[in-house]
DNA sequence: ACACACATGTAATTGGTTACATGATTTC
DNA sequence: GAAATCATGTAACCAATTACATGTGTGT
């Protein structure tokens, strides 16, 4: 609970766009930060209650859509302070885990066809995301800076585009290499003179 | 336990390089897949025991380094089968969570100085990793394909290099933009005509 | 003697997903 | 009237980290 990031996502989203229900918040998350962040209902609803109890957000009956169950939330000055405090501290790296790269790394145990299948899947998925991100970019550009925070949205979008374009280009060269030269020469197993990569972790 | 990926990392590492202790396995993980995968002792030791119980690996007293406590593990044919089965099934995307991008996305609530601080940190860290990966590449290239799996190691390394170079280039343009134009024009909050990004998830 | 790397393990905690359960509202 | 979407919540489960605890071997 102390270092749960979920609360700050909720605060941040409500800071940008108040008077949303839990259900709506989740949609907003999907549609804005969805390509690098996800939240589940099982996490959202309890956290909203906790934030209300702490006074970081307030709940109110919906005015725009007065249905029976719907609750709307807005950030309070206290919530804004909490958000700003959190934003100011250095981001933490959580331990990286990329199953795609892991399976590719071990692909020698399974053969090049398996590697190729994974890479094709990787390409399909990332081409799809790239198309989406490019559409957002195209739609947003004429809009100009229509809302606060637009600039930073564009920055994160730019990250996504740069990342995906780079790894898609990489995947093309990899596929070409695997197709041109399916069987790599066999060799002794990783032994005494192995090369290592001491990547610094936090 | 069913969908724990830890077991497969251990199997994969032992498939490439047998007769390692738990302690050693962890070091090997850090030094090979460390830039995209991590494992803790609290996860490694119980999983090793479970894999022994299942017959996927075998434990033996150390021959090369016969100390009191040291246990060495090697993969069995059964473990190899389990590894191959796992390698053949499509990788799963786990929900993305990038705190750096999240803080950047919300940076309008905190000001450009906060955004700049995060990006500088990001650059420092990634430049450091880039240097390490480039050194590995430089050392490995003359070695040629000295061991089985070398090829796939180089492929994952290539991914890391492509990714880091791309996001570092992105970060330079972002910093230049934020420095040249620290205050973005204020604008109404994210409202009715907001643009959305329906990223497909699995 | 001291420090550091090697080596193994467990317990507490937790952040999070998934599945389940329920019901209202809208749209076709 | 059926289906989809809106809407909220809880319980079970779990993978994983972190902290703690213990001890050996090596090098200075």
**Average of per-residue pLDDT across B140-149:** 75
Per residue, what are the HEC states of A25-44?
HHHHHHHHCCCCECCCHHHH
- Residue found under tokens 């089968």: B81
**Helix B41-54 / helix B6-16 crossing angle, nearest 10 deg:** 70
Q: Please, which residues bridge with residue B37 across strands?
A: A97
User: What are the structural domain ranges in chain A?
Assistant: 6-88, 99-180
Tens digit of pLDDT for each residue in A171-197?
999 999 999 988 765 554 444 344 455
Closest protein residue to C9 using CA and C1' atoms?
A: B45
Q: What is the pLDDT of residue B97?
A: 96
**Average of per-residue pLDDT across B36-52:** 98
Query: Which residues between 137 and 196 in chain A have a beta carbon less than 8 angstroms from any beta carbon of chain B?
Result: 139-140, 143, 145-153, 155-159, 162-163, 165-167, 169-170, 173-174, 184-191, 193-196
**Average of per-residue pLDDT across A87-112:** 96
The answer to whether residues B8 and B83 touch, using CB atoms and an 8 Å cutoff, is yes
Is the pLDDT at A37 greater than 80? The verdict is yes
Q: What is the pLDDT of residue B190?
A: 44
Tens digit of pLDDT for each residue in B108-144?
999 999 999 999 999 999 999 999 999 999 988 777 6
> Between A137 and A35, whose confidence is greater?
A35
Of the CATH numbers 2.30.130.10, 3.30.720.210, 3.40.50.720, 1.10.10.10, which one belongs to the domain with range A6-88?
A: 1.10.10.10
Tens digit of pLDDT for each residue in A50-80?
999 999 999 998 777 778 789 999 999 999 9
Structure tokens at B101: 């991008």
Is the pLDDT at B107 greater than 90? The verdict is yes
Q: What is the pLDDT of residue A200?
A: 46
Among A151, A180, A188, most B C-beta atoms within 10 A, so best to mutate, is: A151
Q: Quickly count: other Cβ atoms within 10 Å of residue B57's Cβ.
A: 26
Tens digit of pLDDT for each residue in B58-99?
999 877 777 878 999 999 999 999 999 999 999 999 889 999
Is the pLDDT at A83 greater than 60? The verdict is yes
Q: What is the pLDDT of residue A80?
A: 98
How many Å separate Cα B15 from the centre of its chain? 19
């Amino acid at each position: 609970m102390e270092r749960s990031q979920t609360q700050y996502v909720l605060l941040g989203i409500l800071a940008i766009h108040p008077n949303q229900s839990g259900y709506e918040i989740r949609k907003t998350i999907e549609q804005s930060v969805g390509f690098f962040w996800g939240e589940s209902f099982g996490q959202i609803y309890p956290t909203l209650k906790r934030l209300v109890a702490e006074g970081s957000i307030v709940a109110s009956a919906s005015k725009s859509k007065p249905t029976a169950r719907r609750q709307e939330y807005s950030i309070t000055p206290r919530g804004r302070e909490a958000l700003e405090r959190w934003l100011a501290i250095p981001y933490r790296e959580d331990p990286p885990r990329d199953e795609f790269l892991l399976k590719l790394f071990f692909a020698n145990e399974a053969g090049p066809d398996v590697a190729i299948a994974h890479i094709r899947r990787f390409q399909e998925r990332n081409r799809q995301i790239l198309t989406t991100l490019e559409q957002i970019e195209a739609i947003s550009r004429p809009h100009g800076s229509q809302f606060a925070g637009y600039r930073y949205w564009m920055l994160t979008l730019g990250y996504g585009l740069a990342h995906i374009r780079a790894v898609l280009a990489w995947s093309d060269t990899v596929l070409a290499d695997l197709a041109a030269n399916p069987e790599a020469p066999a060799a002794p197993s990783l032994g005494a003179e192995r090369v290592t990569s001491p990547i610094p972790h936090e």
